[in-house]
Amino acid sequence: MLKIQDLKFQQLKKVNIQKNGLPEIVLVGKSNVGKSSFINTMINRKKLAHTSSEPGKTRQINFYNIDDLFYFVDLPGYGYSKMSKQEQIKVGEFIEHYLKYRKEISLIIFLIDIRHDPTSNDFLMYDYVIRSGIPCLIIANKADKIAKTKVSGAVKNVQSQLNPIRDITTLPFSSENKFYTEDVWKVIESFIANT
């Protein structure tokens, strides 16, 4: 079984779309939910994935090769209000096409802001992810922005709205304090190890 502590993170690189059969861990979420920060935190690097204070910057699929074992794949964020309707539709179709036809996807990590109820766009994306049949992990991100005593309740709130039957793991996460990375790695490892 893959042990994340054995990874050297030497093959970290942003690459164009690959067809080498490595498993892909795909990140989806609205603009500015913290997908790039999530990648940087998980691999303990500050600037592999570019972060921006302005949402809606990522308009392409970014692949990050992790020790030639798997890819983190950062899909464009959705729901950015300053993006034109036509651009929003294009981004949505782009994401949908990738999730539908990409055979290497092992796991979708769906990031939600722990501080807010899911938006209508979040519900649409969640519905599509579920219908795709691809395994999913829900990350309630930005857990450092609320009191520690409220994290568990906030995670339950996200889960009760998105996944009330609780058949999908929902975990808190924070790029600031990194308290929850081990739990997330355990889930990722279970999917990488089986490919």
CATH of the domain at 73: 3.40.50.300
Report the phi/psi class of residue 133: left, alpha or beta, with left for phi > 0 and alpha for psi in -120 to 50: left
* Counted domains in the chain: 1
Residue 3 lies in a domain: no
Q: Give me the pLDDT at residue 193, please.
A: 77
Residue 102 lies inside a defined structural domain of this protein: yes
For residue 105, the tally of other CB atoms under 10 A from its CB is: 20
Phi and psi torsions of 85, nearest 5°:
-55, -40
Sequence-separated (6 or more) residues with CB below 8 Å from residue 128: 96, 99
The answer to whether residue 5 sits within a structural domain is no
Query: How high does pLDDT run on average in the chain?
Result: 83
Q: Where are the beta strands (DSSP E) in 34-181?
A: 62-66, 70-74, 105-113, 136-141, 170-172
The answer to whether residue 25 sits within a structural domain is yes
Predicted confidence (pLDDT) per residue in 53-87, tens digit: 454 454 578 888 888 889 999 988 887 656 677 87
pLDDT digit string, tens, across residues 183-192? 999 999 999 8
Helix (H, G, I), strand (E, B) or coil at 188: helix
**Mean pLDDT calculated for residue range 1-22:** 53
- Residue 7, in any domain of the structure: no
Per-position DSSP letters for 46-75, written without gaps between them: SSSS---SSTT---S-EEEEETTTEEEEEP
Predicted TM-score (pTM) of this structure: 0.85
Please check whether residue 173 lies inside any domain of the structure: yes
